[in-house]
Structure formats: C-alpha cells, structure tokens
C-alpha cells in the first residue's frame, strides 16, 4: 500500500470518528432541549392545577391540564418515564 493510500485510509477513519462524535453530541443536545420543553409543560400544568385548587382557574383549565398530560405522555413515549430529580 502506498503512502497516499495510507493517508486516505487514516483520513477516512478520522472523518468517521468525527461524524460519530458529532452525532452523539447532537443527540445529547436534542435530549436536553426535549427535557427543557417537558419541564416547561410540567410547570404550566402545575400552575393550572394550583389555580384550579384555589378557585382561580380560567374556564379552560381542565382542557389545558388534559393537553399538558397528553404532551407529557408523548414525551415519555419518546424519552422514557420522567424521574424526580
């Protein structure tokens, strides 16, 4: 095998490793973004439940709660069950 063939082979291997690292990094970013979105939904749902309990809920509070529950179910189906921190 010639010198150029070895250089090409090593370059291809390095490119493959770099691509793998980039994919793993992107997956982690996607996971963090999904968790933040779920945290926001949980906060909104908690507020809706609180307002319902203290008698200050808007007329559509029950619909909002159901929508939030469905959003969290979808999140769990894609990312696994939520765990307390």
**Which stretches of 1-85 are DSSP H helices?**
3-53, 61-79
pLDDT confidence of residue 78: 95
pLDDT confidence of residue 13: 85
For residue 27, give both structure tokens: 């997956």
What is the pTM (predicted TM-score) of this model?
0.75
Per-10-residue mean pLDDT of the chain, 85 residues long, equals 85 87 92 95 97 96 97 96 88
pLDDT confidence of residue 4: 87
pLDDT confidence of residue 80: 95
- The residues spanned by each domain of the chain are 27-79
């Amino acid at each position: 095998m010639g010198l150029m063939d070895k250089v090409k082979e090593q370059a291809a291997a390095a490119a493959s490793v770099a691509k793998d690292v980039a994919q793993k990094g992107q997956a982690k970013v996607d996971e963090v973004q999904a968790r933040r979105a779920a945290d926001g939904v949980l906060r909104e749902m908690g507020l809706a439940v609180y307002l319902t309990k203290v008698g200050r809920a808007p007329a559509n509070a029950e619909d909002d709660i159901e929508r939030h529950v469905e959003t969290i179910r979808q999140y769990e189906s894609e990312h696994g069950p939520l765990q307390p921190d």
